[in-house]
Structure 1
C-alpha cells in the first residue's frame, strides 16, 4: 500500500514506496498503480528508470497521456486501462443534460475534494458543461482530503436553492456528506461521485 490516497501523505513518501516495491519485490509489471494522480505523474519517471511496465487503472489525470505524447520513448512502459477526467466529464455532461432537459434542474452547487482528478472534473463542469447547458452554478466549495464536516456548504446550497449537488470525492470521510445531506434535508439531488456510495453495502450504510 503506497498510502498515496491517505490524508497528509506527501507525494515523495509515496514515491519511496513505489521504488521500494520495485527493488524489493522485483515484479514483472505493476497493475493498478498509484491511486492519486499527483503520485502517478511523479512516479512516471521511476517506472521509466526501471523499465517497469505499469497498467494504471485508477488515477484519472490526463497529464499522464500528455507526458507520454511528449516523450513516448521514455514513457513507453506506462499504459492507461481506464478513462481519464476528460471522458469522465463527458459522461457526467450527458447525465446533467438529462437532469436539465427532462426534469428542469437548472441550479447547481459544486462540492469537490481538493485533489487533481476532482479539481479537474469540477472545473470542467463549472467552466464548460454547465454554461453550455444553461445551468447556473450557485456555489462551489473544495475540501481537503480527510475533511469530515460538510454542513456549512450544504446549508449554503440549501439557502441558494440548488437543485443539484455536484460532488467529486474519493475519500472515505465523504460518506459523512451523505448523512449530513439527509439530516439537514437539503432538497437537492446528489449527482456526481461519492466513493462510499459506490459499494454494495451503501444502501444499508446510509439507511436507504
Structure 2
C-alpha cells in the first residue's frame, strides 16, 4: 500500500511539473544575428548599416517588440574578408544559436557566409551583397526548383541590375558613343563591369576599355591616363568609397576633362565620405543608386531625417542605410508571423510568404531567370549637385534637374 501511495504521489508531482513547464512562456529577447564590416576598409558602410539596424530595432521595441518580446541583434564583424565572414556566420549559428542571420555587405563576404547558412539550413536575409550568384541556387549545388531547400533571401537588387535605371538617362539625354570601364577586381566589381559592358552593347555604346585594379591601390594615374588616351564620352567606375574618391581626385589632377560624364555604380559614389574625400572633384558626378529619401515611399524621408538628427548632418544615410533599416523591418514582420516558434524552419516559411512595404520599398521574394528568393526593385540615378546628393532620374521622380552638359575644367578650378 505504501509503495502504491508513493507511486501515486510521484505521478501527480510529475504531472504538475509537466503542466508548469508547458505553461512556461519565454520572455527574454529574441536574438537575430547580423553580419557586417564594422572595422577595416569597409567600416563606413558597416557603421551606417549597424546604426540603421539599431534605429529600426529601437522603434520596433518601443512599439511592443515581437509579440511582447524584445528584438535583439547580435553583431559579428566580418572586417570585409570572406574567411572572417565565414567564421562569423559559423559563430552566430553554433555559439550564439541564432535562428536567422541578416546583413551581408561585401559580395565576396556575403557569398562565403551564405554557404555557411545554407550548410546549416539557417535563413540568411541579405540586404546589400549584390553579386548575382548569391540568389542563384546552382551556385550551391541546387536548382531553381529547390526553393524548399534554399535558405538564402535577398532584399536588394543583384549587381547585374544596378545600371537599369541609368539606361534611360544615357539613351535619352547623354547619348554617349563610347565608355571606359574601371572596376575593382572583386566579385562585385568584376560582375558589375561585365553587366555594364552588356548594357553598353545593347545601347550601342562602344567599350573602349574595361580595366580592373587591386583593392588597396593608391595611385590610379596610370589607369586614368590610359582612359584619357582612349578619349571616351563616359567613364563608368565600380569602386568602394575611398577608391571612388581617389579616382575622381586623380582624374582632376591629370586634367581628364573630356568625358561627357563620370558615372559611379553606386557603392562608394553615394556615400557622404565620397564627397568629403573627393572635394571639388565630386561635383556633378553621377551614380546609379537603389534608393533616395525623396522617393514617394512611406517612411523613407522620416528615416533619413531621424538618422541625420541622431548622427549629424555630416553622416547622411544613402541606400545602404535604407537597406539595413528595411532588413530590420522585414525581420520583425517575419518573426511576428512565426506564432511564437522562432526556429529556422518557421522563419523560412514566413520569409517565403513575405509581402510588405519598407522604407527601402516593397519586399516580396520571387523567382526569375536563374534566381530564387530574390526581391525585384527599380533602380535610380543621383548626382552630386552643390555638395548634395540629388535624385535626377527618372524625371517624374526627380527632386533636382540633371546638371548637363558639364564643364569639368570649370568645376575643378
Range into which the TM-score falls when normalised by the shorter chain? 0.7 to 0.9
Residues 96/103 of structure 1: CA separation in 2 closer, same or farther (3 Å cut): closer
Corresponding residue number in structure 2 for 1:38: 108
Answer whether contact 1:93 1:125 (CA < 8 A) is retained. no
Corresponding residue number in structure 1 for 2:34: none
Whole-Å Cα distance in 1 between the matches of residues 235 and 179 of structure 2?
A: 6
- What is the Cα deviation at residue 83 of structure 1? 0.6
- What is the Cα deviation at residue 73 of structure 1? 2.5
Residues 153/191 of structure 1: CA separation in 2 closer, same or farther (3 Å cut): same
- What is the Cα deviation at residue 194 of structure 1? 6.0
Query: What's the CA shift string for 1:117-154, capped at 9, x where partnerless?
Result: 2211211221x221222211111210122222211111
140-149 vs 59-68, which deviates more? 59-68
Whole-Å Cα distance in 2 between the matches of residues 171 and 202 of structure 1?
A: 6
Answer whether contact 2:245 2:274 (CA < 8 A) is retained. no
Corresponding residue number in structure 2 for 1:154: 224
- What is the Cα deviation at residue 171 of structure 1? 5.2
The reply to whether residue 192 of structure 1 matches residue 258 of structure 2 is no
Counterpart mapping for 1:23-62 below 5 A: 23-33=94-104, 35-62=105-132
SS at match of 1:45: helix
Residues 96/149 of structure 1: CA separation in 2 closer, same or farther (3 Å cut): farther
Provide the TM-score with structure 2 as the length reference. Answer: 0.44
Answer whether contact 2:200 2:206 (CA < 8 A) is retained. yes
Answer whether contact 2:162 2:265 (CA < 8 A) is retained. no
SS at match of 1:25: coil
Choose which of 151, 158, 177 in structure 1 pairs with 2:247.
Answer: 177
Matched pairs, number: 197
SS at match of 1:145: coil
Whole-Å Cα distance in 2 between the matches of residues 155 and 64 of structure 1?
A: 35
Whole-Å Cα distance in 1 between the matches of residues 273 and 111 of structure 2?
A: 33
Answer whether contact 2:85 2:110 (CA < 8 A) is retained. no
Provide the TM-score with structure 1 as the length reference. Answer: 0.82
Corresponding residue number in structure 2 for 1:89: 163
Q: What is the aligned-residue RMSD (CA, Å)?
A: 2.3
Counterpart mapping for 1:133-144 below 5 A: 133-144=203-214
- What is the Cα deviation at residue 94 of structure 1? 3.1
- What is the Cα deviation at residue 29 of structure 1? 2.3
Specify the structure having the higher radius of gyration (Cα). 2
- What is the Cα deviation at residue 16 of structure 1? 1.5
Counterpart mapping for 1:92-111 below 5 A: 92-98=166-172, 102-111=173-182
Q: Which runs of 5+ in 1 are unaligned?
A: none
Choose which of 184, 199, 216 in structure 2 pairs with 1:113.
Answer: 184
Whole-Å Cα distance in 2 between the matches of residues 124 and 186 of structure 1?
A: 25
Whole-Å Cα distance in 2 between the matches of residues 145 and 25 of structure 1?
A: 32
Answer whether contact 2:242 2:277 (CA < 8 A) is retained. no
Corresponding residue number in structure 2 for 1:124: 195
Whole-Å Cα distance in 2 between the matches of residues 202 and 42 of structure 1?
A: 28
Query: What's the CA shift string for 1:45-102, capped at 9, x where partnerless?
Result: 3213433222101111221222172532222x3210111123213233334324xxx2
Residues 103/81 of structure 1: CA separation in 2 closer, same or farther (3 Å cut): closer
Q: Which consecutive aligned stretches of 4+ in structure 1 deviate over 6 angstroms post-superposition? A: none
